[in-house]
Structure 1
Amino acid sequence: MAIARRGDLIEIETPNGIGYGLFTHKHSKYGELLRVFNVLVDERPRSPVEILDTAVRFNCFFPVSIAIRRKSVSVAFHCNVPEGLSVFPLFRTGVPSPLTKRIERWSLWDGEKSWQIGVPNKDEAKISPLAGWNHALLVHRISNGWRPEMWI
């Protein structure tokens, strides 16, 4: 039975190339945290550094171990989690208004506690939304260049 290990660099096949995400944390409520890099390549690089040196485009909770077992993703490399990615990231969350169906009061969440921020500023809009994603959504968002600021 395949179980993802912290530091697994996951390879995700998309229609537009191969994307990569690093499994960095396991949260007791939300599961495995994947840091998805801003890179699409045609073939696996020779070294994980070629991926780890790029920026993280977004963070999401994704069932990495299940995806490995189902062979919908694969472990390209196992590496030490870079210092900058070892800290649990902030997430953005909110409840849609029943009238407008839009989130009007946002909150930030650090993995333990949350606090309201109202309407996100330019920097807060770049914080990933708090959500669990399935394989189809992950592939779609990687291949189409999705960024957290597109979800406001």
Structure 2
Amino acid sequence: MSNQVVFLSSNISKHIILLLECILVFLFINCLRVKTFKIYWLSTKRIKLGDVFEINTPKGKAYLHYIHKHEILGALIRVLSGLYANRPVDFDMLVSSKERYMIFFPLSAANNRNIVEWVSSYPVNNFDMPRFMRNSHIIRGEFLGWHIVDTETLHRKLVKNLTTEQKKLSPYGIWNDTLLIERLVDNWSLEKWS
């Protein structure tokens, strides 16, 4: 009987040791995951409403002002006027002036990949998300008109011809950095887009 107890106790001890080893390995792997997550989280650059960013183009530096975070489309930016050979010393006049247009742009990703560079911050008190934006409606290569999009309800209204006020509406949709730079270099404007 005594030999059986020793045999059972040694078997149980082996299982307990094996179980403890498994728990330690599990905890070690999860600790690595947490450390990796913390390192990633600390390495991402945070953006805040009001931040002003610089983006380089072949024709000079352009500036973007982050004014709104849309729950579906992400960061809404004001594309500020002008292309500059050198960074302006004072951004107050540039940011407070009328923008070229507003677009949705993957700003966090562009910032984390160093496509844009933070240069300043400016209050967003005077800048709201536009109530209406527009987009061309093209099917199978045929232009059918313009969608006027209500940014609060996301309802679209199709119009054939734009009024003077509708020509001032910014494009509805998300632009990546390649499209933005292309449009900046081509001096694209809302007035030309009709």
- Fold-level similarity (TM above 0.5): yes
Amino acid at match of 1:124: Q
Give the direction of change, closer, same or farther, for the CA distance of 1:47–1:112 in structure 2 (3 Å limit): farther
1:36·1:56 contact (CA, 8 Å) conserved in 2?
yes
Asked whether 1:110 is paired with 2:110, we answer no
Secondary structure of the corresponding residue to residue 60 of structure 1 = strand
1:88·1:111 contact (CA, 8 Å) conserved in 2?
no
For residues 58 and 44 of structure 1, the distance between their equivalents in structure 2, rounded to whole angstroms, comes to 20
> Following TM superposition, by how much is the alpha carbon of 1:120 offset from its aligned partner in structure 2, in angstroms?
1.2
Query: What is the TM-score when the length of structure 1 is the normalising length?
Result: 0.87
Select 1:43's aligned residue among 86, 101, 123.
Answer: 86
- Identical aligned residues as a percent: 27
Q: Which has the higher strand share?
A: 1
Amino acid at match of 1:110: T
1:5 corresponds to which residue? 48
For residues 114 and 92 of structure 1, the distance between their equivalents in structure 2, rounded to whole angstroms, comes to 11
For residues 148 and 142 of structure 1, the distance between their equivalents in structure 2, rounded to whole angstroms, comes to 12
Q: Kindly name which structure, 1 or 2, has the bigger radius of gyration based on alpha carbons.
A: 2
Amino acid at match of 1:142: L
Select 1:124's aligned residue among 166, 171, 186.
Answer: 166
Asked whether 1:34 is paired with 2:77, we answer yes
Please tell me the root mean square deviation across aligned C-alpha atoms, in Å.
1.8
Secondary structure of the corresponding residue to residue 181 of structure 2 = helix
Asked whether 1:137 is paired with 2:137, we answer no
2:168·2:191 contact (CA, 8 Å) conserved in 1?
yes
Structure 1 spans left out of the alignment, 5+ residues = none
2:134·2:172 contact (CA, 8 Å) conserved in 1?
yes
Secondary structure of the corresponding residue to residue 148 of structure 1 = coil
Select 2:129's aligned residue among 67, 70, 88.
Answer: 88
1:19 corresponds to which residue? 62
RCO greater where, 1 or 2, for CA within 8 Å and sep 6 or more? 1
Provide Cα deviations, 1:98-149, integer angstroms capped at 9, x if missing partner. Answer: 4x62132532323334352612112211211111011111111112211123
For residues 56 and 146 of structure 2, the distance between their equivalents in structure 1, rounded to whole angstroms, comes to 35
Query: What is the TM-score when the length of structure 2 is the normalising length?
Result: 0.70
1:57 corresponds to which residue? 100
For residues 39 and 53 of structure 1, the distance between their equivalents in structure 2, rounded to whole angstroms, comes to 13
2:121 corresponds to which residue? 78
Give the direction of change, closer, same or farther, for the CA distance of 1:105–1:13 in structure 2 (3 Å limit): closer
